[in-house]
C-alpha cells in the first residue's frame, strides 16, 4: 500500500555522524540490507524507507536523539517489535527509525505492590515469564507476544484475548517514562493505584502510536497467578447462541471467565487446512465455535465450566463441547485460534477490519455485514473471529475463489466504507485494538467527534510543534 506524502529531505552525512556518536557505531545502521527488516512489516502491506536506524541503549540516548532531531527538524519513527498491523511503525517517507529493542531491562519487580517496571523494548512474552517466576500474572496476551514489545503494546493500547477479565494495555499501566519531542524526559513512573494530583498525563501517550513522544519505560500491574485454568472448545449454531452462552458463563463464573473467543466455521476451516499441527477438536463441523477459558485463584475451575456447558446444552444453546484434558490439548485449542490470521494468506487477498460494537449487537452486525460485503463483491468470503466478550471482532473478508488478488485488494477502501457504515450505525469503533496508523488515518476524521479531533490536533501541536514524532500517523 502506497502512502502519498512528501518525502523527507535526505539526511546529511554530518548529521548521521552526530546520531552515530549518540548510540555508538554498532547501533547506527545505514546499510540498506540491514535496514530492510525495519521498513517492512508482517502483512507486507506497507514498505517504507529510511536512511538510518538508531538503536539506543538508554533513556538518556533517546533523549539526545530527540534533542538533535528537534534542532534539525528531523522526523523520527519509534519502533518496537515491528508487529503493528496498521503501518504506524513504518517509515513511509524516509524518516529516521528509532528502534527501542535494546531498552530491554526489567528494572524492578515488586510483589508487595504487585508491579513490574519494564523498559520499552522488553518482549511481552519475557514480561509474562518474569511475572510467572515470582508467582504473579501479567495478563496481556497477543498472538505476537513472542516478538512484540511493551512499548509497542502501550503505544497501540493493545487488547488481546484476556481483555475480557483484565482490560486492555491502558488498564495495565500505572505510569510511564516518556521522552518528548524536544528531548525532555517525562517521568511519571508510579506504583500508586491512587494518585489524585492533577492531570493523568501518562494516559496521553498510551494509544498515541508514538506521535506525542517515545515511551521508554512503564510500571505495569501484576495480578495473582491463577491456580486452576480450564479451557473448552464449543460448537454451536450462531453468534446469537454464543451470546447466550456468554451470558450464562458470566453469570456462573463472573470474573473467573478470562477469555471468550467467537470463531466462524470458515476461520476454523482455514486454520485447520493451512495451520501447522492444527486440528478441529470436535468430531463434526459446526457453523460457529467458541473458545472459552476460566481461570481461578482456587483449585477448581472445572466445576463451574462443566456447570456452564451442562446448562447451555440443556437449553439447546450448545451442540457439542470438549474440555481440554491436559496442557497439551489446551495449547492445541489456542494454537487453532492463533493460526487464524496467518491461515488466511494461502486463500489470497484478505481485506481486514479490527472493529468493535456493543456486545449485544455482535450477532446483528455479523448478519448485516456478511450480507453487505457479499452484495458488494459476489463470492467474497467473510472470515469473522475475535473477542466476543469485548465486542471486538477481526472482521476479515477473503477474496472470491479464483479472483485476481490485486483487483480485489484495490477495493479495500470501498469495502471499508460498507463495513464501517454498519459499525458506526451500531455505535461501534473502526479500530478496537490495532490502532489507526496510516491504514485508517484518513477515515478517522469522518468517524470521530469533531471536537475530539480538534483537541487531538491541539495536543499534538503542543507536544510536537515541529511535527517530527511519527509524522503522518493517526492524524
Position 453 in a domain: no
- 255 and 207 together in one domain: no
pLDDT digits (tens, 9 = 90+) for 411-433: 998 999 999 999 999 999 999 88
Position 460 in a domain: no
**Helix, strand, coil content of the chain in percent (nearest 5):** 40, 20, 40
Position 345 in a domain: yes
Residue at a domain's end among 159, 192, 224: 224
Indicate the average pLDDT of the chain: 94
CA 33, CA 46: separation in Å to the nearest integer? 17
Position 459 in a domain: no
> What pLDDT does residue 7 have?
57
CATH number for 53: 3.30.43.10
CA 211, CA 401: separation in Å to the nearest integer? 40
Structural domain count of the chain? 3
- 365 and 281 together in one domain: yes
Mean pLDDT of 51-79: 98
Residue at a domain's end among 101, 133, 168: 101
Q: What is the DSSP letter of 325?
A: -
- 71 and 36 together in one domain: yes
Residues 6+ apart with CB under 8 A from 245: 234, 236, 290, 292, 308, 312, 317, 318
Instruction: Find the domain containing 149 and state its range.
Output: 106-224
Nearest alpha-carbon partner for 231 in 139, 304, 285: 304
- 273 and 135 together in one domain: no
pLDDT digits (tens, 9 = 90+) for 262-302: 999 999 999 999 988 899 999 999 999 999 999 998 889 99
pLDDT digits (tens, 9 = 90+) for 205-231: 999 999 999 999 999 999 999 999 999
Residue 1 has pLDDT above 80, yes or no: no
CATH number for 148: 3.30.465.10
- 152 and 267 together in one domain: no
- 115 and 86 together in one domain: no
Look at 3-12, 115-124, 251-260, 404-413 and tell me which has the smallest mean pLDDT: 3-12
Position 422 in a domain: yes
- 239 and 383 together in one domain: yes
- 219 and 236 together in one domain: no
Q: State the pLDDT confidence band at 3, using cuts at 50, 70 and 90.
A: low
- 299 and 315 together in one domain: yes
> What pLDDT does residue 5 have?
54
Residue 19 has pLDDT above 70, yes or no: yes
- 267 and 201 together in one domain: no
- 154 and 258 together in one domain: no
> What pLDDT does residue 43 have?
77
Q: What is the dihedral of CA 81, 82, 84, 88, to 10 degrees?
A: 120
Position 155 in a domain: yes
Residue at a domain's end among 58, 84, 101: 101
Q: State the pLDDT confidence band at 51, using cuts at 50, 70 and 90.
A: very high
CATH number for 361: 3.30.70.2190
Position 473 in a domain: no
CA 224, CA 196: separation in Å to the nearest integer? 26
3-state secondary structure (DSSP) of residue 27: helix
- 412 and 385 together in one domain: yes
Position 180 in a domain: yes
Amino acid at each position: 500500500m502506497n502512502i502519498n506524502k512528501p518525502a523527507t529531505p535526505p539526511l546529511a552525512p554530518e548529521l548521521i555522524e552526530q546520531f552515530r556518536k549518540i548510540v555508538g557505531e554498532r547501533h547506527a545502521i545505514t546499510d540498506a540490507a540491514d535496514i530492510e527488516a525495519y521498513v517492512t512489516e508482517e502483512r507486507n502491506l506497507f514498505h517504507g524507507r529510511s536512511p538510518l536506524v538508531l538503536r539506543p541503549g538508554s533513556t538518556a540516548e533517546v533523549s539526545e536523539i530527540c534533542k538533535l532531531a528537534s534542532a534539525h527538524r528531523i522526523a523520527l519513527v519509534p519502533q518496537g517489535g515491528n508487529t503493528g498491523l496498521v503501518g504506524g511503525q513504518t517509515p513511509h517517507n524516509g524518516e529516521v527509525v528509532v528502534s527501542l529493542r535494546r531498552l530491554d531491562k526489567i528494572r524492578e519487580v515488586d510483589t508487595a505492590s504487585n508491579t513490574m517496571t519494564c523498559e520499552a523494548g522488553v518482549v511481552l512474552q519475557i514480561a509474562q515469564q518474569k511475572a510467572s517466576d515470582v508467582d504473579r500474572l501479567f495478563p496481556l496476551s497477543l498472538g505476537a507476544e513472542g516478538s512484540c514489545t511493551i512499548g509497542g503494546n502501550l503505544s497501540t493500547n493493545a487488547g488481546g484475548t484476556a481483555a475480557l477479565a483484565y482490560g486492555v494495555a491502558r488498564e495495565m499501566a500505572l505510569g510511564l517514562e516518556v521522552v518528548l519531542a524536544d528531548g525532555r524526559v517525562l517521568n511519571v513512573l508510579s506504583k500508586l493505584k491512587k494518585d489524585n494530583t492533577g492531570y493523568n498525563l501518562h494516559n496521553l501517550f498510551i494509544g498515541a502510536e508514538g506521535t506525542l513522544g517515545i515511551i521508554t519505560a512503564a510500571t505495569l500491574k501484576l495480578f495473582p497467578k491463577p491456580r486452576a485454568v480450564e479451557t473448552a472448545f464449543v460448537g454451536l449454531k450462531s453468534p446469537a447462541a454464543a451470546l447466550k452462552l456468554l451470558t450464562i458463563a458470566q453469570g456462573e463464573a463472573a470474573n473467573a471467565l478470562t477469555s471468550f473467543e467467537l470463531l466462524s466455521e470458515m476461520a476454523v476451516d482455514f486454520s485447520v487446512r493451512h495451520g501447522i499441527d492444527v486440528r478441529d477438536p470436535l468430531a463434526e463441523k459446526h457453523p460457529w465455535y467458541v473458545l472459552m477459558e476460566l481461570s481461578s485463584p482456587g483449585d477448581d475451575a472445572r466445576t463451574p465450566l462443566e456447570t456452564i456447558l451442562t446448562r447451555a446444552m440443556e437449553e439447546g444453546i450448545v451442540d457439542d463441547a470438549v474440555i481440554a484434558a491436559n496442557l497439551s490439548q489446551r495449547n492445541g485449542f489456542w494454537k487453532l485460534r492463533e493460526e487464524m490470521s496467518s491461515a488466511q494468506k494461502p486463500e489470497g487477498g484478505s481485506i481486514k477490519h479490527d472493529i468493535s460494537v456493543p456486545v449485544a449487537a455482535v450477532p446483528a452486525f455479523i448478519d448485516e455485514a456478511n450480507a453487505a460485503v457479499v452484495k458488494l463483491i459476489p463470492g467474497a468470503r467473510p472470515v469473522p473471529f475475535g473477542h466476543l466478550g469485548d465486542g471486538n471482532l477481526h472482521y476479515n473478508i477473503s477474496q472470491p475463489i479464483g479472483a485476481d488478488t490485486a483487483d480485489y485488494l484495490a477495493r479495500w477502501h470501498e469495502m471499508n466504507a460498507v463495513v464501517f457504515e454498519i459499525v458506526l450505525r451500531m455505535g461501534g469503533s473502526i479500530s478496537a485494538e490495532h490502532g489507526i496508523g496510516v491504514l485508517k488515518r484518513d477515515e478517522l476524521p469522518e468517524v470521530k467527534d469533531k471536537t475530539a479531533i480538534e483537541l487531538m490536533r491541539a495536543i499534538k501541536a503542543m507536544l510536537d510543534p515541529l511535527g517530527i514524532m511519527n509524522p503522518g500517523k493517526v492524524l
